[in-house]
Amino acid sequence: MKRNQIINALLALVFLLFPLAVTSDYYRHLAILALMWVVIGGSWNLLAGYTGQISFGHAIFFGTGAYAAGILADKLGLSAWWGLALGGPAAVLMGLIIGFICFRLRGPYFALATIAAGEICRLIAVNWESMTNGMVGILLIQSFRSKVPYYYLALALAGASLLVFSRAMKSKWGFYFVSIREDQDAAESLGINASLYKNLSLAISAFFTGTTGAFYMNYMAFIDPEVVFSLPYISIMAILVAIIGGVATIWGPAVGAFIMVGIQETFRSAIFGLAPKWVSQSHALVFGLMVIFVILYLANGVVGDWPKIKRLLVRSPKTGDAAWLSLKRGKSERPSEG
Amino acid sequence: MTVFLQTLVSGLLIGGIYALIGMGMTLIMGVMGIINLAHGQLMMVAMYITYAAYTFFHLDPYLALFVAMPGLFLLGCAIQKYLLNPLMDVETIIPQNQVLMTVGIAIVLTEVARFIFSSTYLSVRTGYSTKVFFLGGVSFNWPMTIAFLLAVALTVALFWFLLKTDLGRSIRAVAQDKEAAVLMGVNSRRITIITYGLGAGLVAAAGCLLIPIFYLFPDIGRPFTTKAFVITILGGMGSTVGAIFGGLTLGIAESLGATYIGMSYKEMVGLIIFLMVLIFLPGGLKRLTKV
């Protein structure tokens, strides 16, 4: 337990000192993006990984938060920073509406309904021009020239989300969430109000995703429906971040966020300018190939499949056996908490 | 009244093609139990094949059917064999990773098409593309009418295949009860591969039929994936008869929406129907007819 605390403190220190050590705006930007994905991936993981409600529509909450901030600034003349306070609640409200409709369905049907809900939200944002400016999008002026304030804000958000998720999973709620994932009927027969706890999980998840959306609006200072309501680049990316890191682990999505942003950026920059230019144009293709690769070979993520990766890297027979066993054990015996 | 009839007719014509698209997805849904989110993108690939055949070999789009359908059949078989079937053996916490895989396939197909053909809008303009004939004051667009009739013919052929041939019966058996079918000696893996290929082939046919009418660009697949998905839910998962009615309903609803609500809300009509069906009629049209 103590060792864990020391590691956590060291990690926190590294992240706090990062912008002092790294002065390049480019790397600071990447760190901010990765921290944003830590929050979104973690939120998805709370709803899907722990509560078992696979959402293909997290862009709904991200976009709602972003548009809440954008509309406050663009239409009401308030500062977009109010969005940071209101984006989360707006997304929760949206989440409750979505939950009201989609939680009538279970398993794959829920996942399908969230896809449709996400597409509807995107189309509304495209078509409701008096409110959202449609495809033109909302353009603001950034408050700070420097990346440092944004970095610390993103870090605070990521830290807060990790704290809330780990606390929630250690509390009674966490056990209720997992019991709903494992068997909803059994959970209900034990007196757990499944509908309440599913909505609770969705609300927490939507809150953090929405707040991140509002942060994105402030940071990037430009949004349009195709960016913030994107099925592949927000909803699927959120799933990928969680999967590549490790579903149903607290640290998995956090690790996954850094891996995903790292890989995406490597290809976007055409392997740091070493590869010919067409590589950078095909980063969307790389994204698709990554989806396929991750699902085929790393379905339990870096944290979940760590023994498997270790076995591949260190070819010692002993760890090999352990890895084989841990793979064969399957999901029922996987640790459900971080 | 003429406007209404016209709307109805154009909805019905496009609905026939939607039915063709929906049936492919429904077959896959029935046998594998997954929604194939790469369905529209497979159609996009077929459309590019047709386009290439037309530009380089001056092959008529309707004849290109005989190139695109087998081509997509093989592509579909390969996808199922090498990308989707291996996932059955992997045990994970997320049961939906086959669906996720199809999203990955969709992105890859779109981007490969963009890579080869770039994002420009292409079109195949045949002599009959804009020809129209009238029937009692209602105009019928020739290519749409031909497409509708061919779609009907293909549907009949598909039903004959599913009802009368051994392979078709095996497919229906696996869709009904996989374990029982395996016990009766049906090779279920082989059936899944053939089914995915068949679904891809059907949507390829739809692509060939649509190309004289639609512009072609790499992102055209996505709205059609959404449509196929709406049809599958509307018709009742895994019901081929339901998919026909689902397709026709969607075509007519979209057409009415475009005329009476507004063109830009056309896409939304389908999705709203989708949510309504999920809430009020889970099980889709299949439930009403008990077929």
B142–chain A nearest CA distance, Å = 31
Average pLDDT across chain B, whole number: 86
B110–chain A nearest CA distance, Å = 8
The arithmetic mean of pLDDT across residues B205-228, rounded, is 88
**In DSSP terms, which residues pair with B138 in a beta bridge?**
B135
> Where residue A114 sits, what CATH number does that domain have?
1.10.3470
User: Is residue B106 over pLDDT 50?
Assistant: yes
Residue A266 domain-assigned (yes or no): yes
Closest Cβ–Cβ partner in A124, A282, A330 for B111: A282
Structural domains in chain A (count): 1
Residue A2 domain-assigned (yes or no): no
Report the distance separating Cα A290 and Cα A305, nearest Å: 17
Q: What is the pLDDT of residue A24?
A: 86
The chain A residue lying nearest B273, using CA atoms, is A116
Contact list in A for residue B97 (CB cut-off 8 A) is 243, 295, 299
Which of B94, B109, B273 is the best residue to mutate to test the A interface, defined by the most A CB atoms within 10 Å of its own CB? B94
For the residues of B189-255, what is the DSSP string, one character each? HHHHHHHHHHHHHHHHHHHHHHTTTS-B-GGGHHHHHHHHHHHHHHH-TT-HHHHHHHHHHHHHHHH
Question: Is the Cβ pair B90, A113 closer than 8 Å?
Answer: no
Q: Where are the domains of chain B?
A: 2-219
Q: Backbone phi, then psi, for B133, in 5-degree steps? A: -130, 160
The arithmetic mean of pLDDT across residues A223-228, rounded, is 90
Burial of B153 (0-12, 13-18, 19+ CB in 10 A): exposed
Question: Is the Cβ pair B92, A284 closer than 8 Å?
Answer: no
A296–chain B nearest CA distance, Å = 7
Which pLDDT band, with edges at 50, 70 and 90, does A280 fall under? low
The secondary structure of residue B93, as a DSSP letter, is S
Closest Cβ–Cβ partner in A124, A239, A248 for B93: A248
The answer to whether A316 and A300 are in contact (CB under 8 A) is no
B119–chain A nearest CA distance, Å = 12
Question: Is the Cβ pair A288, B35 closer than 8 Å?
Answer: no
- SS3 sequence of A159-192: HHHHHHHHHHHHCHHHHHHHHHHHCHHHHHHCCC
Give tens-digit pLDDT for A121-166: 998 898 888 888 888 888 888 888 888 899 999 999 999 999 999 9
Closest Cβ–Cβ partner in B87, B110, B271 for A295: B87
Report the distance separating Cα B169 and Cα A208, nearest Å: 50
B105 touches chain A (CB under 8 A): yes
Own/partner contacts of B171-177, CB < 8 Å, gap of 24 or more, are B171/B27, B171/B31, B171/B195, B171/B198, B174/B31, B175/B27, B175/B30, B175/B31, B175/B238
Which of A287, A292, A333 is the best residue to mutate to test the B interface, defined by the most B CB atoms within 10 Å of its own CB? A292
Unique residue bearing structure tokens 């591969």: B193
Closest Cβ–Cβ partner in B86, B94, B104 for A288: B104
A109 touches chain B (CB under 8 A): yes
CA angle at B267 for the pair B264 and B270, rounded to the nearest 5°: 140
Q: What is the pLDDT of residue A95?
A: 94
Better-scored residue on pLDDT, A138 or B291: A138
The answer to whether A46 and A205 are in contact (CB under 8 A) is yes
User: Is residue B91 over pLDDT 70?
Assistant: no
The arithmetic mean of pLDDT across residues B7-15, rounded, is 89
Among the residue ranges A232-246, B28-42, B229-243, the one predicted with the least confidence is B229-243
B92 touches chain A (CB under 8 A): yes
Question: Is the Cβ pair B278, A331 closer than 8 Å?
Answer: no
How far apart, in Å, are the Cα atoms of B262 and each of A129, A225, B13, B257?
A: 14, 19, 20, 6
Give tens-digit pLDDT for B40-75: 999 999 999 999 998 888 888 888 889 999 999 999
User: Is residue A44 over pLDDT 90?
Assistant: yes
Report the distance separating Cα A182 and Cα B96, nearest Å: 15
Bridging pattern class, strands B132-135 and A138-139: unpaired
User: Is residue B151 over pLDDT 70?
Assistant: yes
Contact list in B for residue A296 (CB cut-off 8 A) is 83, 86-87, 90, 101
Query: Tokens standing for A321?
Result: 């056996």
Q: What is the pLDDT of residue A157?
A: 94
Residue A196 domain-assigned (yes or no): yes
Residue A285 domain-assigned (yes or no): yes
Contact list in B for residue A284 (CB cut-off 8 A) is 107, 110-111, 114
Question: Is the Cβ pair B230, A284 closer than 8 Å?
Answer: no
Residue of B280, B188, B271 whose CA lies nearest to B230: B271
User: Is residue A326 over pLDDT 70?
Assistant: no
Q: What is the pLDDT of residue B153?
A: 92
B267 touches chain A (CB under 8 A): yes
User: Is residue A26 over pLDDT 50?
Assistant: yes
User: Is residue B139 over pLDDT 90?
Assistant: no
Residue of B27, B5, B20 whose CA lies nearest to B247: B20
Q: What is the pLDDT of residue A321?
A: 47
The secondary structure of residue B122, as a DSSP letter, is B
Q: Backbone phi, then psi, for A215, in 5-degree steps? A: -60, -40
User: Is residue B199 over pLDDT 50?
Assistant: yes
Query: Tokens standing for A195?
Result: 């509908």
- SS3 sequence of chain A: CHHHHHHHHHHHHHHHHHHHHCCCHHHHHHHHHHHHHHHHHHHHHHHHHHCCCCCCCHHHHHHHHHHHHHHHHHCCCCCCCHHHHHHHHHHHHHHHHHHHHHCCCCHHHHHHHHHHHHHHHHHHHHHCHHHHCHHHCEECCCCCCCCHHHHHHHHHHHHHHHHHHHHHHHCHHHHHHHHHHHCHHHHHHCCCCHHHHHHHHHHHHHHHHHHHHHHHHHHHCEECHHHHCCHHHHHHHHHHHHHHHCCCCCCHHHHHHHHHHHHHHHHHCHHHHCCCHHHHHCHHHHHHHHHHHHHHHCCCHHHHCHHHHHHHHCCCHHHHHHHHHHHHHCHHHCCCCC
- What sign does the dihedral B83-B84-B85-B87 (CA atoms) show? positive
Question: Is the Cβ pair A120, B264 closer than 8 Å?
Answer: no
How far apart, in Å, are the Cα atoms of A89 and each of A17, A34, A131?
A: 31, 23, 19
Report the distance separating Cα B254 and Cα B273, nearest Å: 10
Q: What is the pLDDT of residue A338?
A: 36
Q: What is the separation of C-alpha A164 from the centre of its chain, rounded to a whole number of angstroms?
A: 14
Report the distance separating Cα B18 and Cα B5, nearest Å: 19
Q: What is the pLDDT of residue A282?
A: 73
The answer to whether A122 and A229 are in contact (CB under 8 A) is yes
User: Is residue A278 over pLDDT 80?
Assistant: no
For A290, residues 6+ apart whose C-beta sits below 8 A from its C-beta are A240, A260, A263, B104
Kindly provide the ipTM of the predicted complex, given to two decimals. 0.79
For B73, residues 6+ apart whose C-beta sits below 8 A from its C-beta are B197, B198, B200, B201, B204
Q: What is the pLDDT of residue A323?
A: 47
For A145, residues 6+ apart whose C-beta sits below 8 A from its C-beta are none
Which pLDDT band, with edges at 50, 70 and 90, does B92 fall under? low
Question: Is the Cβ pair A288, B106 closer than 8 Å?
Answer: yes
Contact list in B for residue A101 (CB cut-off 8 A) is 275, 278-279
Question: Is the Cβ pair A108, B33 closer than 8 Å?
Answer: yes
Q: What is the pLDDT of residue B133?
A: 82
Better-scored residue on pLDDT, B170 or A143: B170
Which pLDDT band, with edges at 50, 70 and 90, does A329 fall under? very low
Residue A143 domain-assigned (yes or no): yes
Q: What is the rounded radius of gyration, in angstroms, for the C-alpha atoms of chain B?
A: 19
User: Is residue A62 over pLDDT 50?
Assistant: yes
Question: Is the Cβ pair B93, A123 closer than 8 Å?
Answer: no
Q: What percent of chain B has pLDDT over 90?
A: 29
Q: Backbone phi, then psi, for B2, in 5-degree steps? A: -60, -40
Give tens-digit pLDDT for A251-271: 889 999 999 898 888 887 766
